[in-house]
Structure 1
Amino acid sequence: MHIEIDRDVCIGAGQCALTAPGVFTQDDDGFSMLIPGREDGGGDPMVGEAARACPVGAITVKESGT
């Protein structure tokens, strides 16, 4: 799995961090970021739901090989 956060689009709503706290967090400015070492999602089943929960669509999740 490959996860990207478009930081130019992110508004810092935090829905990703609330939905998948083992993968997403927020930086000091409140914008979303991946937890270091969890860039591949770590098999967390909530990653896709976190991407869907983003109100501005700043998160893209691609399965490996696509």
Structure 2
Amino acid sequence: LTIVCELKSSIDKAGMYVFGRKAEFYAKNQNRVVDRKIVISPMVDERAIPVAKSLGIETYSYADMVVS
């Protein structure tokens, strides 16, 4: 099981694309399959939510909300 997670104070649409590319880079560079991509941020721009869904990124407002 491989989880890629980013913790940010806020994230916008461009930031979500950047995180998606970081996760792809990690998977390719380490020859691993990324099972979960998670962004934890109390302020997620509403335009970033559809981007997250299209990239398969889970978004959470608080770390306590992440479910295993």
- Between Structure 1 and Structure 2, whose CA radius of gyration is higher? 2
Please state which structure has a larger fraction of its residues in helix. 2
Normalising to structure 1: TM-score of the pair?
A: 0.29
Normalising to structure 2: TM-score of the pair?
A: 0.28
Please state which structure has a larger fraction of its residues in strand. 2
